[in-house]
Structure 1
């Protein structure tokens, strides 16, 4: 009597990719909403440092547990195949990803300042400014950049590229990211943010999806996400640092919009090579 290969049995009982992605994205949305509800109950509506820190740690735990459990139980694949390299490469990809946002944003900002279109004033000492930047780097990394990139440019993207061309996977994961982010904001802030968040999350999803494809690394997208969020939260949101800009719209266009439009091109120089845009990448079990 013959017995089916264990690998074949594992493949037979795997849920379809759409079902697996629905479980993970829905689970992430419920997790983020649960964190918001619990921290609001404890600390109120304002984003105090204590609430921010607790929310960050909770988001990291939720994302990590969700991805590890889904990867092992639903995908039956190792977590290490999601694009999370280690050691020097991880650091290099993280820094390069940040530069792919910071370089074009810095150029755009320099032009706006030199042309007199924008003025920026920081009401803080150098030590206070550096402290605020370092604090936000840690909070954004733990609360937003790593958890969201692990979920969408790690788990979601890798599952999609196993089933379709990578260029299409970039678009699909961007749509899922848009639905996740917009739903989260609409539920917590109301319908007034709908259009703004739809545009923001779709655009961001496409850009970081392209960087994920070009670099082959989740750390690259974490770096990009980190740079973008830290600058915006420091200047536009005014969190932890008193910054005054003469025209917020000009600042956003000169930095964020310029970076969104050019970051994939910058990434192409930072990670030169022949990217695979058209061939699906089978998610095989290593060694089988």
Structure 2
């Protein structure tokens, strides 16, 4: 009788263990480590991304961001979006310009130093050297915050010259990569044009841990840290054909897909302002089509 009682007691306990195991299976990522193909799955020991992240006020932006791990940078290929400005949102301090400003960029955070590096809608110079009163093209920019080393914050633009102007509908490849301790290389090229420069960032190192991001935004003039301002501005059909992260693997730097299990998905300040289209195949390679509408969808 004692033996039977023990069996009766163990049966529910065994079922409980099965239920716990099933629950764990349901929360395990669909993509698991595959030593034969860590590029499309995960590398052994790779840190998984956070399920969510807090939005920063001041802009409408679509951001994907990696885990904090031994990444060395990020790259992506994108067709630049179409822009439709809200005519009621003109900038009183700069006639001809708007209080909304589109940008498409990469960036990261390492050593408590944030970077934003890519393309922003900017003024240009014509053939005679005259600066346009309105913003007319995407131009490269580089921004870093200050760092505990004493390095100060900085913001730089590529020269206002036609080889560095890109326009809606043009396809570009952008990349930022740590090439030495405290140094990032930025390259943007496409439509027969190319810009390349090194950018000193004391927080970034070849052996450090950091996160890297890709962002499409409607930035708003003098609105950083504040709630977004109502706008009818639309920035539509930015087509990312791929997004990849750099990592050291088998003693060489490789470019690995930023697939849907390798990123945190952010749509700020609210998903209703975004239309994101991505097939299952797109999600394997960090591809998607992004539209942003300040009036919502």
TM-score by length of 2: 0.21
Q: Which entry has the higher C-alpha Rg, 1 or 2? A: 2
Structure with higher RCO (Cα < 8 A, 6+ apart): 1
TM-score by length of 1: 0.21
Which protein is richer in helix relative to its size?
1
